[in-house]
Each structure stands twice: as C-alpha cells, then as structure tokens.
Structure 1
Amino acid sequence: MRELPGWLRGSVTVWLAFWAAVHLYFGGFGFPEPIEMRSLHLLVFTPPLFLLYPAFPTRSPMNRPSMFDWAWAAASAAPHLWVFVNAGAVSDRMEYVDPFTPVMMALAITCMVTMLESIRRAVEPGLAWMVAICLLYMFVGHHLPGVLNTRVFTTAEIMESAWLVPTAGGVYGPLTGIVATTIAVFILFGAFMQGSGTGRLFSNLGAAVAGRYTGGPAKVAVISSGLFGTMSGSSVSNVITTGAMTIPLMVRIGYKPAVAAGIESAASVGGALMPPVMGAAAFVMAEITNIPYGDIIVAAAIGAVLYYFAIVAAVHFEAKRAGIKPMAAADIPAWREVLADIHLVLPIGLLVHLMMERWSGNFAAFCSTLAMIAVSLLRARTRMGWRAILESLTNAGLTMAPLAVSIAASGVVVSVLTATGMVVAFGGIIKEFAGGNLGLLLMMLCVTVLVLGLGIPTTPSYIIAAAIGVPQVLELGRPLGVDMMQAHLFIFYFAVIADATPPVAAAAFAAAAIAKASPTIASLHASRFGIAGFTVGFAFIYDPGIMLRGGPMEIFMATAIQVVALTMITSAYAGYLLRPMGVPLRLLLGGIGLFAAFGHIAPDTVRLPLAAGVLAAVALLQYASGRRAAAA
C-alpha cells in the first residue's frame, strides 16, 4: 500500500471514514433499496483502491498516485454511479428482454476491466485471472467439446449477466448485497473493538493464562490470535498484528523460526472459525442458506474450540520435546492489568445475546458498536476520542474496499457458472468420479477447496466451492440425513484453512516474513498445527454431535472422539506424550488417532473406547518407564 502525501492521505482518510460511518448508520436505521445500496457500496470503495495500491510495486510511484491511477479511479466509478443514479430503471427492467444499449455495453466493459485491475492490485491476481477466464469461457464455450460445451452467448448477454442482472448474481447480486449490509457493519464492530483496546485485552489475557506454562509464548500466540481473529476478519492482518509480538518471542526462547511462523499462522487462520464473529464467509453462508447467523455460530462453537485445543496440544508436546521454558515472569502481565480492560467484553456479550435472540445481524452489530464506544468511556485507558473513532472508521473502510471488489468478482463467477450450466457439469464430474461414495466425494471437495485457496481469498473460494459441491453432498448424504448447514460448514472449514496450507498460503507467507523463515516450510508446519481443521470438517458430516445436535450422550461422544484423536495425532507428530517416544509408539498413536478421527465406517462406541484405551495404555507405559528411570 502507498504512503500518500499529507493532503491526499487526509482526503482518502476522511472519504473512507465518512462512508464507513454511513454504512454504520444504515445498519441501525435501515438500508436503501438493494440496487442503490450495492451500487453505492462499490461506488465509494472501488476508486480509492487505485490511489492506495500501485499498479506495479517495483515500478510505480509509492508516494503518490500517477495520472493513470487517477484515470483508473474515475473509470471505476462511472459504471456504479450510472447504476446508482438509474437505480429505479435498473430494478424495473426485464432482464435479457429489455434492450442492452450501447451505453450499457460500454459501462459493463468498463466495470469488468476496472474490477479486474482493482482485484489484481489490492486482493489476489489469481482471483482476477479466474474471473477473466470465466468470462472468456462464455465467449468460447460453444467451441469446446464434451461437458465443457455451452450454447452460444452474445456479447450483450455475457456483459448483462455479469453486470446488470442483480437477481441471479453478477456485480450487483445478492453476494454484494450481504457485504454492503451485514458484513460491513460487522467489520465496523471489529474495527472499534481494535480501536478501544480490546486487542490489548486479548493479548494480556493470553499471556496471563498461558505464559507461565511450558511453551508459554506459543500458547499465548494461540490464545491471543484466536481472540483477535474474532474481530480482525482477516488471517493475514491477524498474523501481522499478533505475530509481530509473538513470533520473535517464540524464536527467542527456542522455537525454530519456521515452527514459530507455522504456529502463528495456524492460530491466526482459526480466528475465522471462532464465534461470535466468524469472518465474511460465515455471513455469506447465512445469506445463501437462509439459516440464522445465530444458529451457525452455535453449530460452529465446539468445532472452533477443538481447533484451538489441537493447536495448544501440539504446541505443548512440541515444547516438552524441545525443552522450551515458560515466559519470563517479567513478561507476564499481572491480572490487575488484564482486569483493567475487562469492561470491553460487555459489547461482545451484547452482540452474542442479540444474535441468540434472532435480531438481524446488521442491527446487532450496530448496537454492539455503539456499546463499544460507550463502554470505552468508562476508563481513561480505553476511552475513545474523536481521533480514535476516526481511525477506527478509516480502518473499517480500508478493510471494506478490497472485500467489496473481491465479492463482486465472486458474484460474476457464480453468474457464469449458473448461466453456462457449469455448476451442474462440475458437480456431475465430481459425482461421477466419486462413484456414489460420500467419503470420496468429500475428499475430492476438500482438495478442490484447497486448490481454489491457492490464489483466491477465503470468501470467494467458499462461495465457488459451495455452488459446485453442496448439492452433491446433500444428494449423496441423504441416507445419513446430511443437511444444508453440515454441507456448508464442511466447505467453509477447508476454505478457511486453505490460507495456511501449502504450496501457496497467504497467512503462512506473512508469518514467514516476520520469522525470516522459508514460507513453504512454515506452511507445512501450519498444516501440522492446524490438523483439527481437517478432522472437524469431516466430523460435521459424520459426527453432527459436535454441532450440539442430538442428546447429551451424542454430543459427548462426538466431542470426546475428537479430543482423544487430536491428542494422539499431535503427540505422534511431536514424538512426545509424557516422555519422548520412539517410532513404534508414534506410529501406533498416529494410526489409531487417524482411525478415530476419520474411520467413520466404525461406530462411535468402537472408535472412542479403542482410541482412549490405546492412549491410556501408552500414557501408563510412559509413566511407569519414567518412574523406573527416576528410581534408577
């Protein structure tokens, strides 16, 4: 991102802060008509991207926008301004029936080109390429053989479907709608959490809880990153914010740089899995499925706790094996320091309460944001003055801008997949390869989502994979009673952890830069520490007890299986349980742990006793061996 000169930096700051405040107002007092809101959202947040992000970091000026950047910004505003001004006519026109005029064609092409360029600069080049390839496919698909063959689309049909058909997808489709409304207000809530000092509360709480134990800094990283992730909404920003403190501390007490980067990136990625604010993709899930967001966070709660339990367990065993000590007492904050900020949890409690009471997400976030400002005034150290409020609004705007164009691009991809029938075709290909086997279908979808995550952010990756895979999961999972929420949570988990899995892992690469380690090695360690993302993802389908479904016994069995399995897998990775383990014991624990986690062909009443029995036997064996060694 550029360092703009003073007058321009001030202008962009005021612009972003003002429009973020307008979105907050809409969240509490009602939004304009959908097409007005969606076009306004893109109109105000797309142009600043060309001023803030250079076209080429090595060749473009980094202290000012060029004339070309100003031209790009003006061009990017034109299509959205036209739609905003003509919102009534756009809403009333009959799609594919009313003429698509030359003016509309010019504006549609301008919108596509400027959107692709803004994504290339500010989001991910891979997403820009995917959108471009999808549009190209509509032009040439009728020349392709077999399942890829489509009907002939005219240029007008292609541009209209991508730009001006808000009911079916495209730039102004429902996905842009949910980002411009609910997600925008939650981003504001997260920004005000950060501005009030809630991040300091989370960091101090993590250090006070875990700092005095073996591998303390790593456990602090896990806890603080998980808490911070509930307000940041971005795994990369989570890494940069918390990792700047935790990664050097982990390296200083003995962790290898790549291991420290892997721990931080795995913990930061999991922030999007942690209720009550699970990132943009979770709100999109609520919009797509029509499932209340409160129900989603309840279903995801145990899975998120299991994810972080596995990271803490892995960190503990790693620290024990390497002989890493706790944090120095001087670095551990006193509990009075933690309690000095404890009042900042009240708005979070209010948010959870309103969501559980089925209030709309945008109104719950609006009330909680105002409550955060009010609660911050209770103590001088957290008091938000006008500068802090302006900074929080600006940070929210900086987060909204790239998200706005990436979600609009996802709408274009969904529109293309729907218009060409590739949703059905891709689903049919996956289903055919799976041969009617649900387990094989899930593995193929897992790989698909992880591959999409190589060059696409979490939310677009989830949207595209859900469009392709959810109908197939529901069809093959019908005998097991698999429902919409289970299928979507499965895909959601893998879309999230794709940010930490090799070969391209945005969060792991950011952590590796801080640790001065190999990005590839860091991403491998991140996958190891985040193993629960894989086990919990499959458990959503086969063990719905972790979604708090069924009676107490079903919930206990499903959760206990995951706890025991993850303990065995992480200890086998580290080569340590109560004492260092040799290869035979590591293979035994790892094999039985994997069977308990993924062997859904066996009933719970077999997997849990087997895994728990083997774990207890190995623990007793090591305990007895330790006693004998001590006596000798």
Structure 2
Amino acid sequence: MNSSTSQTDTSQPDLKDFETAHRSQVGVTRFVFAFSIFLAIAHIYINTIGTLPELWVSAFHFSGFGILCALLIPAHPSLLKSKTALIIDTLMIIALAGVTLYIVFFEDALYARGVTFDTGDWIASTVAILLALELIRRTSGWFIPTLIIVALTYVVLWGQWIGGTFSFPGLSVETLLYRSYFSTDGMFGSISRISWSFVFMFILFGAFLVKSGAGDFIIDLSRSLASKMIGGPGFVAVLGSGLMGSVSGSSVANTVSTGVITIPLMRKAGFPARFSAGIEAAASTGGQLMPPVMGAGAFIMASYTQVSYVTIISVAAIPALLYFLSVGFFVRVEAKRSKVIAVEDDGPTVKEVFKSGWHHIVPLAVLVTLLVQGFTPTYAAGISILAVIFSSWLSRHHRMNAMDILDAMVQGAKNMSTTAVLLVGIGLVVNVISTTGVGNTFSLMITGWADGSLIFTLILIALASLILGMGLPVTASYIVLGTLSAPALYNLIAESQLIEIMASGALPEAAKAVFMLVDPESLSKLAVGMSADEAALLLSQVPSDFKGMLLDQSLGAETIAMILVTAHMIIFWLSQDSNVTPPVCLTAFAAAAIAKTPPMRTGLTAWKLAKGLYIIPLLMAYTPLVGGSFEEMVRLTIFGIIGLYAFVAVMEGYLEDELNLLSRGLLLIATIALLWPGIHFVWQLIGAALFFAIFLKGFKSYPQTSA
C-alpha cells in the first residue's frame, strides 16, 4: 500500500504527478532527488548537533523547501512541460537562495547602520514576502496569500482609516519589512522554528515508517482485529485511519491512503456508499486528534502554552479515543439497521500479522519511551528514525537498504515542502496579530458578544473556525484562531472554575484579600459559600488588572496550565470541522471521489458522523476531561462512552433495533444525564441504567451469513 505522510491538511497537488508531467528533463528530476536528500540531511544535522542562529536556519528552511516547491509544482497548469516554466522556476530558485544568503552576509551590516534600510534591505525583504505569497498560491490557492496581503496592508495602510476598536495608527513600511524578514517575529519566527524542528522530524519519521512497510502493517492489523466484528469493515476504517493518522497527521492523505482499501470493503459488506465515504472522512479527520503527531498541532500547542509536548499528547489521548468510539458507534448502528453481513476475509490473522510485522512497533515504542524519559521531541524522532531502519532488518520482506533510506528522505522532504512554505507564510499573519494587538481586541469582542457565556463563546469560535477553514488548512486555521480567541476562552474557563470554588466556600485565604478591596462584606459569604450567580456577580466587580493574580492564587500554576491547554485543545478540535463540514470539506470530497458519491451530500453525511468534534470540546470546557485526576478521568471516560453511544442512537433513531418515540425520548434523557456537565453521579448512574435497559431490550443476534 502506498501511503502518504504529508503533514499538510489541505487538498494538495499530487507531487509525484507534477514531477512526472511537468519535469520531463532528466536533469531536473535528478536534482530534485539529490536536493531532497540534501534538505533531509541538513535538517537532521540542524536538529541534532547544529548550532547555527535560528534566523539563519529559518531562512534556509524557507528557501530550501521553497526551491523544492518551485521544482515540483508549476506556476500554472498550462505551463506543464513548458520552457517558460523552467525559466520562471530558475529565477525563483535564484531569488530564494538570495534571500537566505542576504540574511547571512548582510544582517550585521543592517545593525551597524542602526537598523536603517538601504537599497539591498528593501529589495531582499520585499522579494522574500513576494516569494512566500507565490509559493503558497501554488500549493494552497489564493485565500492564504490574500489573507497575508490584507494583514500586511492593515499595518501600514488601511488600519488607520477605520474607526472603532480595530483602528491602528500604523507602522512604516520599513518597520513592517524589518519585523517580517529580519526579526524572529515574522516569516522566520516561532512558527517557522516549529516547522523546521518538530514538524519536519516527525514527517521524516512518518516517511521512514511508510517506506519500511508500516502502512501495510497498520491496515492488516486493523482488518485482522475488526473484520469479524459487527460492521467489521467499518471498524477497519475507524481503526486503520486512527492508527495511520497517529503518525501521518494529515486527514486528506489519511483518507486517500486508507480509503482506497476501506471504502470498497465497506461497500462489499453492504454499507451504503455515502455512509462508507462519510465514515472514512470522519475517521481520517480524527487522525489529526490522535497522538503523537496530531497534524503538527501538538508542537504548536506546546509552543503557545509552554506546556511540555509529552503533557500535550498525554492529555489528548482520551478525548481522541472518545472521538473514534463515537464514529464507531455510528458504524455499529448502521450495520445493525442495514443488516450488514460478515464478509469473508482471507487476510492474515492477528497472530500472523504480529508475527510478520511486530518489528514495526519497535520505533513507536522507542519514540514513546524517549519522550517519557524527557528527551526533546526532535531528538526522540531522530533516534526513532534510526530505530525504523534497524527494526526493518528484523523483517523478511521490508528490509531497508541504502536506496530505501534515500527514498524515505526524498519522500519526507517532498511531503514537507508545502507545509514548510505554508507555516512560514502564516508567520506573517501571526506577526501582524501580535504587533497590532488584534488578538486581544478580538478576544474582548468575543467575550462581549457572548456576554460572558462560555457556551456562546464556543459557538462563536466554532463558526469562526468553519469560516477560516474554508480557505485555510487545519493547522493554519488553528494558529490564526488560537492567536485570536484562546485568551478569551482561557479566561472564561478559568473564571468558571473560580466561580465554583467561590460558591463552595473553598477559596484560599490569599485570594480573599482581593475581595477585601472590592467588597469587604463579601468575606463572610466567601467563607461559607454562596450561589453561583452571587459568585459570578462578585467576580465581575474585580478589576481586570487583579483577575490574573486572583486566578493564580485560587487555582494554582498547574491548574492554570491545564486550563490554557484546554482552551487551545478546544480550538484545535473545532478547527478540524472544516474537513467534514460543507461547503468546503476536502476530506469528505476525497472520500467521495473514491466512493463515487455526490461530494456535497457526502460532506453532509461526514458532518453528521463527526459530531464528536463538537460534543467532546464541550466536555473539555465544562469538565476536567483534560488534566483531571485519575478518578475524574475514569468517571468521565466511562459515562462519556455510554453517553456518546446514547447520543448516536437518538440521532439515528436506532440502537439494537428501531426506536419508537418513547424509547428515543428516554435515550435523550439518558444522554443528557450522562453528558451534562456537573450533574450528580446518581443521575449519571440512572442514565447509564436507562441506556442499557433499552439496549438489551432491542438486542438481537447478528447474522453470520458470509458474503
């Protein structure tokens, strides 16, 4: 099976097809091969023993992968096999090399002049931005370049023309170009650093895994584990996409690589075509939620929150598991309703799969062990790449030789090319947001529109993520939306927890000193507790300058960190909905192409099947699903699983049998009792009992006839 591990989460051109069609010259093809190997080795060196300045590395990262993009993707499809394309790309390659060399050789001269631009500085910085716009246009279309242009012109031009909260006095063009090109805030800032370190190393790790045969192992393992279950082929899609997504991190690539196997399997078993495509799309979308890669989201989240990568992926595991179970419940319900029969599968058994492919687990075990032991993700990924090579020699059929290693490097570099230029370009937008304070303004607006309501804030963020997702890939959408709205969401979640503490009378003594300044008479109530409404009213009287200190004293540093992670995790989850939500749902469209079903109707089906993308973030916001104690996590997981199954049954009107109106109503009550935040444990038990009573009432034996 040929699997892609591209980390981009947008509909990308097929780089192999472009290379074949566009680059007929043997010399260009050989250069791409050699240059890809050079980029891979250079980045491995940089991430292990290299000590170059970060600005230089970021510039090299952009230029290197920009050159690869220029060679792989033409400026326009009409220029395929055209000499004009070769001339254009040659000029781009020279310019890309020039913008890096200029920083290396002329950065000191700029500071020697007191950061005053000369002609060369103007040309180099302007050309660098134009190159980023063109490369992103080639790989992702016009939306992102347009967004970048709007952001840059806002800083120097039209921001001063508008009134209201978004008015900005403006910066000089020289200052903007300096911050965009020469500083570590713009193109070559933190997002670029994440790209050339964490993201590249894990994409390269994924490429080595696929080259070693791990993709076949994942699919074979999924088929051997799930094929005999009720709705087995559907569970193969869920399990296979989850496992593949855990290392690939790309929903579209996940859909294409696993869907060509799982969708025909589901169709053969009797699942409707549109449902089969929807399941694959929903399951592949979940691949970006599954540790350890999470579509680059885990690395960016760690950078934003300053919480360790290991902590991020550890708290992400249970929500991801709940999501895949929610998709699996749709599979079981549809299998029962459509009377899907067991399909004869002459594939290998679980024992045979492990016997022939157990060595594929070794690199993942090495990766997890190194991360848990405290090694950096880049170091862990580098050692795990070596583990892939060594463990492949334990196989009889997929022993990696020198050419396989080179091919894996080439594929990893190609997979990274579009992601690299995208993340570098998004750095320009992030720089504008931080420079102008638009992020804080947007957060205040969200808080104002929602009137302090957490649920309305979540709805607004979900709508914003859907709109952004129509033009931005998921990772870029998360970066932009996280920068804009994470502060507002963090404050609301933190304040809701503080209100609970105040209402219970458990506020620490140090925190009460703040309320002594606001309302001395409230101290007696704080000692014994008050209603949630009274606590909220009292908290609203605290000046904003004191709220940060109050939260620190009341909640503690560890809880504060987990709340920040929760806010970013929610935004990251909601950013995934553009994959399966019409009108632009690229993952669903990719699945529809395989299943030969109407794209938009397939998107609606995938959107229904991916409802966990909305329910589980609600649980994150209102419960300690992220970072709670062991007892809390066990309770939330158990009741969450039952509640999600009940929710699916209510939506479908079917559990183990057709549900009448009374049973459906009772299941709705059970769903609310199981998933409603803060509900008493006894009510959750009643809800679970109600669910199982209806489940057992409709339980029927599953048909065993083979197809």
Partner of 1:630: none
Q: Which residue is 1:145 aligned to?
A: 163
1:539-560 CA deviation, whole Å, 9 max, x = no partner? 222221x3352142x1222112
Q: Is the 8 A contact 2:333 2:654 kept in 1?
A: yes
Which whole-Å deviations, capped at 9, do the CAs of 1:485-515 have from their partners, x for residues lacking one?
Answer: 1111111111234322222112111111111
Given residue 540 of structure 1, which amino acid in structure 2 is its aligned partner?
M
Partner of 2:79: 60
CA distance in structure 1 between the aligned counterparts of 2:391 and 2:607, rounded to whole angstroms:
39
CA contact (8 A) 1:198 1:344 kept: yes
Name whichever of 146-155 and 316-325 sits farther off: 146-155
CA contact (8 A) 1:499 1:505 kept: yes
What's the CA shift for 1:283?
Answer: 0.5
SS in 2 for 1:171: coil
Q: CA deviation at 1:88?
A: 5.3
Equivalent residues of 2:465, 2:575 under 8 A apart: yes
SS of 2:294's equivalent in the other structure is coil
State how far apart, in whole Å, the 2-side matches of 1:210 and 1:344 are.
19
Match status 1:420 vs 2:436: yes
**Residues 1:612 and 2:632 are matched in the alignment:** no
- Mapped pair 1:547 → 2:626: yes
Q: Distance in 2 between matches of 1:63 and 1:395?
A: 25
**1:299-348 deviation digits (Å, cap 9, x = unpaired):** 11111111111111111111111111223132465631342011110110
Letter in 2 for 1:102: T
Equivalent position SS for 2:79: coil
The 1:294–1:422 alpha-carbon spacing in structure 2 relative to 1, beyond 3 Å, is: same
Task: After TM superposition, give the deviation of residue 15 of structure 1 in Å.
Answer: 0.6
Name the CA distance, whole Å, in 2 between partners of 1:443 and 1:159.
Answer: 36
Q: Does 1:557 align with 2:635?
A: yes
Residue aligning to 2:655: 577
Describe the superposition over 1:283-303 as per-residue Cα deviations: whole angstroms up to 9, x where unpaired: 111112211111111111111
Q: Deviations over 1:438-460 (max 9, x none)?
A: 22212211222222111111211
| Matching of residue 190 in structure 1 with residue 268 in structure 2 | no
1:69-107 CA distance string (max 9 Å, x none): 3323333333233123445567x679xx62122322222
Q: Which residue of 1 aligns with 2:144?
A: 127
Once the two structures are TM-superposed, the CA of residue 40 in structure 1 deviates from its matched residue by 1.1
- What is the alpha-carbon distance in structure 2 between the residues aligned to residue 592 and residue 73 of structure 1? 62
Query: How has the CA–CA distance of structure 1 residues 35 and 469 changed in structure 2, closer, same or farther, with 3 Å as cutoff?
Result: same
Matches of 1:131 and 1:244 in 2, distance apart? 36
The superposition leaves residues 340-379 of structure 1 with CA deviations (integer Å, 9 ceiling, x where unpaired) of 0111101101110111111111001111111111111112
Q: 1:93 & 1:460 partners in 2: Cα distance? A: 36
Q: 1:130 to 1:578 in 2, by over 3 A?
A: same
Letter in 2 for 1:339: K
For these two proteins, the number of residue pairs brought into alignment is: 615
SS at match of 2:346: helix
Deviation, structure 1 residue 115:
0.8
Aligned identity (percent) is: 29
The reply to whether residue 254 of structure 1 matches residue 270 of structure 2 is: yes
Once the two structures are superposed, residues 109-129 of structure 1 have per-residue CA deviations (whole angstroms, 9 ceiling, x without a partner) of 211222111111113432222
Give the equivalent residue in structure 1 for 2:601: 521
Shift of 1:435: 0.8
Shifted more, 5-14 versus 198-207: the winner is 5-14
Distance 1:38 1:124 in 2: 23
The answer to whether the aligner puts 1:537 opposite 2:617 as a matched pair is yes
Shift in CA distance, 29/607, structure 1 to aligned 2, threshold 3 Å:
farther
Kept in 1, the 8 Å contact 2:248–2:293? The answer is no
Distance, in Å, in 1 between the alignment partners of 2:369 and 2:610 is: 30
Q: Which residue of 1 aligns with 2:40?
A: 20
1:581-596 pair list within 5 angstroms: 581-590=659-668, 592-593=670-671, 596=674
Change (3 A) 1:402 1:604: farther
Q: CA deviation at 1:248?
A: 2.2
CA distance in structure 1 between the partners assigned to 2:449 and 2:70 by the alignment: 43
1:321/1:574 contact within 8 Å kept: no
The whole-number CA distance in structure 2 between the counterparts of 1:604 and 1:339 is: 48
Asked whether the equivalents of residues 509 and 523 of structure 1 are also in contact (C-alpha less than 8 Å), the reply is yes
Task: Select 1:227's aligned residue among 243, 260, 265.
Answer: 243
More divergent stretch after superposition (508-517 vs 578-587): 578-587
Is the Cα–Cα contact under 8 Å of residues 270 and 497 in structure 1 kept in the other structure?
no
Rounded to whole Å, the distance in 1 between the matches of 2:268 and 2:106 is 60
Give a deviation string over 1:399-422, Cα, whole Å, max 9, x none. Answer: 221111111122111111122221
Could you tell me how far apart the structure 1 residues matched to 2:473 and 2:345 are? Answer: 40
Aligned 8 A contact 1:272 1:279 in 2: yes
Residue aligned with 1:340, SS: helix
Code of the residue aligned with 1:459 in structure 2: it is T
User: Is residue 498 from structure 1 mapped to residue 578 from structure 2 by the alignment?
Assistant: yes
> CA offset at residue 397 of structure 1?
0.5
The equivalent of 2:523 in structure 1 is none
Farther off after superposition, 241-250 or 22-31: 22-31
- CA distance in 1: counterparts of 2:131 and 2:669, whole angstroms: 51
Cα shift at 1:210: 0.4
Which residue of structure 1 lines up, in the alignment, with residue 295 of structure 2?
279
Alignment RMSD (CA, Å):
2.2
Change (3 A) 1:548 1:281: closer
Partner of 2:119: 102
Structure 1 residue 592: Cα displacement: 4.4
1:279 is paired with a residue of what secondary structure? Answer: helix
